[in-house]
Chain A
C-alpha cells in the first residue's frame, strides 16, 4: 500500500482538513474508511489529487468526501458522537448469551469433534438439576434486559430431563425478573422423539442442528452408531419445520437453523452445500471456517486447511447464493450479513466474535456440566483439553458481579479492543471488524495475537475485501440483495415476554 504514494509522486503529503481515515486498494480503486464507519471509493486519480493536497472546496471530490463525513469542516460533531454512542450501546449491558453444557455425552462421533465429547456411559458428565438452577440464577442477574439460554453438549438430548427442569425453573424464576427470555438447543437430532419435540415446541425452544453438506460428506464426518446421521437430521428438520407451519408461523422466519462445519472435504462442494441448505428450507447459511479448539493433531489433518482455499470456497458459495437470490430465492450468508449490517448502516448486530470489545465474558458466559464457568464456549473447550486459562468462576461460589469483574474478563476486554492491536489500529476494516482473544490464545499463545499471522484475521480481511469489491462494482441488483441481507426480522414467537409478576 505504501507503493501508492510513490506512484502518486514525490510531492505527496498528508491531506489537510480531513478526519482521520484509513485506506486500502480494492479491485483497482482506493477504499477509504473513517472512524464513524463511513466509507467511499476513490479512483487512483482522485486519490492522487487528495495526496497532493489538491482538495478544492466545492469540487466533486470535496463533495463526495464531505457527504460521507470525511471533511472536518462539514462534519456534524454532535451527530457523530451520537452515532458512535449508538454503535457502542452494547457496552451498557452484560452477557445476553448463556451457554449451558448439560452433558458431555454424545451419541455421534465426529471427525472434527472438540475434546469436549464423552462416551454414552460417562454419566458423571451430566449436569445435575441443582447446578442447572444455579446457572439460571446467575443468568437472570445479567444486566442485559434480554437473555438467551443455549443448551449444548455433548448432545443435550442425552440429558433431556435436566434440560426440561432447567427450562421450567427458568420460566418460573423469570417471573421475578421480567427479562425477555429465549431458549436455544444445539442438537444432532438423532435422539429426538415426538414427546421431546412437543415439549420443546411448547416451551418455544429454538432448535439448531449441524449439517455438513450433502449426505455423502455428512455421514462420512459424523458417525452415528447403528444409524445414518444425515437421514436422522433431515427427518427431524422436516418434522420440526412442519410443526412450526402447523402453529401458523411464517416458514421463511421460523425453521430449524443449521450450522456447517467447513472441513477440508467440504471445500470442494460450495454449490452442493448451499443447495443442501436451501433444500432444507434454511434461509441463512453461516460459512464459517472450522475453529481450532480442542483438536487433536490427527483431526487437524482432516479439518485444517489454507485460509486462501477457504476464501475461494467462500466466494464461490456466496456467488451461488447471490445467483439464487437473483432467481427469487430468499437466502443469505450470515458472515456477509454481519459485516454488511455495519458497513451499510449504523446498526451493530452484536455478533459476539465480530465486535470490539468482543463478547468474551461481557457478552456471553459458558457453564460447564460440573458448574465451572468460562468466559466463552471456546474457553470451556480449552479447559476440556487441559487449559483452564478462561475459567472465571463456578456456580457454587461466584457471584454475578465477581464474574464480570474477574481479571481474566478485564484482560479479554482490553485484548479485544481494536485500538490496542498493531494491525487493526491501521486496518481499513477496523470500524466493522472484531477480535476473538480465545482464537489468538489457542493459535498463537497470547490473547492479544498477531493479526498478520492470524488465520481468523485473514478470513475477516478476505470476506470484507470481497464484499467491498461487490459494493465498488455497484451493480444495482446485487447491492439491493446485499442490503436486504441486513434487514432483521425479529422472531418474536420465541421470546418469553418480559412481564414480571
Chain B
C-alpha cells in the first residue's frame, strides 16, 4: 500500500490480493460524509482510492491513517464473518424471527381489502391452470413470462 498526500486530499494505492474489492468499497463508503471518494484501477490488481475532504483544512495524514485502519478492519471482518457465517446466520434469524413473530390478526386486519381489491388475484391463484396459462385462440399453455402475466391480468379484468 502506498499513499500520497495532496492539498486537502489523499490518494491511496492498494494491492487487491491483500485487500479484497468488497473491503475497499466498504472502507471507502465510510468516508463519504466527510470526503468525495473516487476509486480507480491504476494497473492490474492495483486499485487507487482518492479521498478529497469536503471541508477546507482537513488533516489529510489523519484521514489517510483512518482509511487504512478501516480497510484493515473491513478486510479482517470479512474473513471473520466467513468463518462464523453459520453462527451469525443462526443468531440473526432467531433474533429477527423472534422479534417479528408470525403475521397476526392485526396485520391481516390492516391489509388493504376494499370493495375493488377484495377479489384481486394478481398472481392468478384462484384461476384454473388452463385459464391461467392457455394462449388466446386455444394455443398451447405457456407458463412463463409476459404471456402468463397478460393472461393473469385479463383474468383479473374478467372478475
Interface residues of A (CB under 8 A from B): 88, 91-95, 137, 141-143, 357, 361-362, 399-401, 404-405, 409-410, 413-414, 417, 419-422, 425, 444-446, 448, 450, 452-453
Interface residues of B (CB under 8 A from A): 30-31, 33-34, 69-70, 73, 76-77, 80-81, 84, 87-88, 91-92, 94-96, 98-101, 103-104, 106-107, 110
- Top 3 nearest A-B pairs (CB, nearest first) are A94-B99, A404-B100, A143-B101
Contacts of A422 in B (CB 8 A): 73, 76-77, 80
Known: A400-B106, A420-B84, A420-B88. A446 touches B30 (CB 8 A): yes
- Nearest Cβ distance between residue B43 and chain A, in whole angstroms? 29
Check A401 against B73 for contact (C-beta < 8 Å): no
Known: A420-B88, A453-B69. A91 touches B101 (CB 8 A): no
Classify the secondary structure of A's interface with B.
loop
Check A445 against B107 for contact (C-beta < 8 Å): no
Residue of B80, B99, B100, B107 most packed against chain A (CB within 10 A):
B99
Check A425 against B80 for contact (C-beta < 8 Å): yes
Contacts of A401 in B (CB 8 A): 100-101, 103, 107
Contacts of A452 in B (CB 8 A): 69
Alpha-carbon distance A362/B94, docked complex (angstroms) = 11
- Nearest Cβ distance between residue B113 and chain A, in whole angstroms? 14
Determine the residue in chain B with the shortest Cβ distance to A452: B69
Contacts of B91 in A (CB 8 A): 88, 91, 357, 413, 417, 419
Classify the secondary structure of B's interface with A.
helix
Residue of B77, B81, B84, B95 most packed against chain A (CB within 10 A):
B95
Alpha-carbon distance A410/B88, docked complex (angstroms) = 12
Alpha-carbon distance A453/B70, docked complex (angstroms) = 10
- 8 Å CB contact of B95 from A141, A362, A421, A450: A362
Check B99 against A399 for contact (C-beta < 8 Å): no
- 8 Å CB contact of A93 from B77, B80, B98, B107: B98
Contacts of B88 in A (CB 8 A): 414, 417, 419-420
Alpha-carbon distance A143/B106, docked complex (angstroms) = 13
Determine the residue in chain A with the shortest Cβ distance to B106: A141
- 8 Å CB contact of A410 from B33, B69, B96, B101: B96
Check B30 against A445 for contact (C-beta < 8 Å): yes
Check A91 against B94 for contact (C-beta < 8 Å): yes
Alpha-carbon distance A194/B130, docked complex (angstroms) = 74
Check A446 against B99 for contact (C-beta < 8 Å): no
Contacts of B73 in A (CB 8 A): 422, 448, 450
13 A-B contact pairs sorted by A residue (CB < 8 Å)? A88-B94, A93-B99, A93-B101, A94-B98, A94-B99, A94-B101, A141-B104, A141-B107, A357-B92, A361-B99, A420-B84, A445-B30, A448-B73
Check B92 against A419 for contact (C-beta < 8 Å): no
Check A413 against B95 for contact (C-beta < 8 Å): yes
